[in-house]
Structure 1
Amino acid sequence: MNITAGTLKIEVDQNVSTITFQHPSHNSMPLSQLHQLRDAILKEGSNRASKIIVLQSAGDRTFCAGANFQELASITTIEKATEFFMGFAQVILAIRDCQKLVVGRVQGKAVGGGVGLLAATDYCLATRRAEMRLSELSIGIGPYVIEPAITRKVGKAGFTSLALNPGSWKTSQWGVEHGLYQMCFDDIEAMDQFLTEYLQTMVTYSSEALTKMKALLWEGSENWSFLLEERANNSAQLLLTGHAQNLIRKLVSTD
C-alpha cells in the first residue's frame, strides 16, 4: 500500500520557531511524518536563533485527525504496530525534552492522536472550531499512548469523559474549562493577532527562566519513556485483532 506522505515546514523569525505540518487526509499522521515532527521539535529545541516554538497545522478546518488510517490498515506485525504508536509517543517526549516552551495553535478539529499532540503543548490557543474527540474505542483500540499527556491537563475525570464517549465531540469551550486550551477565539484572525502579540512578549523573557518553567510544567513525567512504550505495545496488540482490523478497513474503504 502506498502511503501518502505529508509535509513539514520550519520557519524561524524574530526568535520564534514555527513548525507547520500538513497531510491531505485531514492532517492525519503517517509514521514518517511523526518522525519528521519529532526531529523538528528536537532540532528547534537546540536552535539558538529561537526562544520559543509554535506547533501548528496547515488549513483552516482540521488541526489533526490523529493516526493515518491508511497506514494503520497496512500494518500486519506487532513490531510495525508498536513502532507506529511509538511515533506519537516520541513526539510527546520530544515536546517534553526540547527545553523550550511549545505553544499550540489549534485552528480546527482534533481527533485521537491529534488531541494528544495539542495536550502535550505547554500553552495552547484555539478557535471555536477546535472541537475534539477520542475515537479510539470506536475502532477497537484505545487512547493509551496519549492518555498521560491529556490527563496531565484535564485530570482523570476529564480524560474519562473524552475516552468513554468516542463518538461525541467536546467543544472548544470545554477545552478551555478543562485546561487543554488557555484561550479560545471566534476565528483564526483573532487568534493569530493575539498569538503574535503574545510571542513578542514571551521572547523578551529570560531564556533561563523559560527553561526552568518548562521543567516545572513537566514535573512528574520522568517515567513516561517507559510508560509510553508499554502503552504503545498495548495499542499494537489491539490493532492486530480481527475486530480492529475490520473496523479500520471499513473506514479506509469509505474515505
Structure 2
Amino acid sequence: MEAINQGDVKFTISDNGIATVEFFHPLSNSLPGKVLAKLANTITELGGNDSVKVIVLKSTGDRAFCAGASFDELISIKDLDTGKQFFSGFANVINACRKAPKLIIGRVQGKAVGGGVGLASAVDYCFATRYADVKLSELAVGIGPFVVGPAVERKIGLSAMSQLAIDATEWRSADWAREKGLYTDIFDSIEEMDEAIQTLANKLAKSNPEAMQLLKKVFWEGTENWDQLLAERAAMSGKLVLSDFTVNAINSFKKK
C-alpha cells in the first residue's frame, strides 16, 4: 500500500466524558491528506458530542509525535488546486481545534516537525516528554510554514516562531519549547506524562462545560478570520510546492 493511503485516526470516549483521539502513520506519524481529513472531522464531531467533556489529542509510538506533511503526497502534487487542497487539510485540523467548544489537551511524546508543531500549537494545553524536540522544516524544502504559522505564532510569539521558520534544519529542544510556551510541562517518561494528562483530564471532566466553552472562546479571541486566512496560506503553499526548487528539495530529502 502506498504511503499516502496508509494511516488512520481512532477515538475512544471514557465513561466520564474524556475523548481520546489518536492518529498514526507508519512513517513517523506523518500526515497525508486522508489522515488530515479524518482528524479534522473527528475533532469536529467530538466537539459537538454532548457526552464529551474534554479531548486528548495524541499519536502512536514512542519517539515521533508527528513528522508533518507526507513527502510522498507532496511530490505527487501536479496542479495548484491539488496543492491548495492538500495544505487546506492542515488548515482544517487547526480550525477544527480552534472551533471545538471543548478544551483540547495535547500529548507530545516525541519529535514534532512542521505540521506536528502546528498541531501542538493548536491544542489548548500541551504536555510533552523531554524527547519532544521541535522543528519547522518547511523552508528547507522550498515552502515555508505558512498554514501552521498563525497557530505557532499565537502560542509562542512571532520572535520564537521566526527562529523556527528561518533556521529550518535545526531542532529546538523540548526545554526550549516549554520556555516559549508551546509545552506547559515536560516529563522524563511517557508514563509520567500520561499520569499528569489523566489527572488534568479528570479535573476538567468534572468542571462546568459552559464555563470551559466560554473560556475557550476567550483564549481564541482575535482568530475569527482564520477560515479565510488559512485558506489563503494554503494557496500560497500549494503554489510553491509546484516549483522546480521545491520538487528538487523534496526529492533530496527523500533520499536521505
Q: How does the TM-score come out when normalised to structure 2?
A: 0.97
Query: Does 1:143 find its partner at 2:145?
Result: yes
Task: Find the residue that maps to 1:173 and give its secondary structure.
Answer: helix
What's the CA shift string for 1:209-231, capped at 9, x where partnerless?
A: 00001101100101111111111
- CA displacement at 1:198 relative to structure 2: 1.1
Kindly provide the CA deviation profile for residues 203-251 of structure 1, in whole angstroms up to 9, marking residues without a partner as x.
1110000000110110010111111111111111110000001111232
Offset at 1:31? 0.3
Match of 1:197 in 2: 199
Identity %: 45
Matches of 2:249 and 2:5, distance apart in 1: 21
Can you list the C-alpha shifts for 1:67-107, whole angstroms capped at 9, x where unaligned? 00011011101000000000000000001111111110000
The one-letter code matched in structure 1 to 2:8 is T
Report deviation, 1:17: 0.5
Distance 1:222 1:39 in 2: 19
The one-letter amino acid of 1:181's match is: Y
Does residue 8 in structure 1 map to residue 5 in structure 2? no
Q: Any idea what the Cα deviations from partners look like across 1:162-185, whole Å, max 9, x if unmatched? A: 111111111111111111011111
Give the distance between the partners of 2:241 and 2:59, measured in 1 at CA: 26
CA contact (8 A) 2:105 2:197 kept: no
Give the alignment partner of residue 31 of structure 1, picking from 30, 33, 52.
Answer: 33
Separation in 2 of the partners of 1:142 and 1:68?
15
Q: How many matched pairs? A: 254
> How many Å separate the matches in 2 of 1:194 and 1:104?
12
Aligned counterpart in structure 1 of residue 106 of structure 2, from 94, 104, 107:
104
The DSSP-based 3-state class of the residue aligned with 1:105 is strand
- Amino acid in the other structure paired with 1:232: A
Matched, 1:113 2:118: no
For residues 103 and 194 of structure 1, the distance between their equivalents in structure 2, rounded to whole angstroms, comes to: 11
Q: Tell me the distance in 2 between the aligned counterparts of 1:53 and 1:222.
A: 22
Partners of 1:50 and 1:76 in 2: how far apart? 40
Q: State the Cα deviation string for residues 45-68 of structure 1 (Å, max 9, x = none).
A: 011221000000000010000000
Q: Secondary structure at the match of 1:221?
A: coil
Distance 2:252 2:139 in 1: 15
> What CA deviation, in whole Å up to 9, does each residue of 1:101-120 have, x standing for no partner?
11100000000011001100
The equivalent residue for 1:129 is 131
Query: Structure 1: how far apart are the matches of 2:168 and 2:108?
Result: 20
Query: 1:86 aligns to what?
Result: 88
Helix, strand or coil for the counterpart of 1:11?
Answer: strand
Is the CA contact 2:5–2:34 (under 8 Å) kept in the aligned structure 1?
Answer: no
Measure, in 2, the Cα distance between the counterparts of 1:129 and 1:74.
Answer: 31
Query: Equivalents in 2 of 1:138, 1:178: separation in Å?
Result: 23
Structure 1: distance between partners of 2:10 and 2:224:
30
- Does 1:230 find its partner at 2:207? no
What is the one-letter code of the residue matched to 1:186?
Answer: D
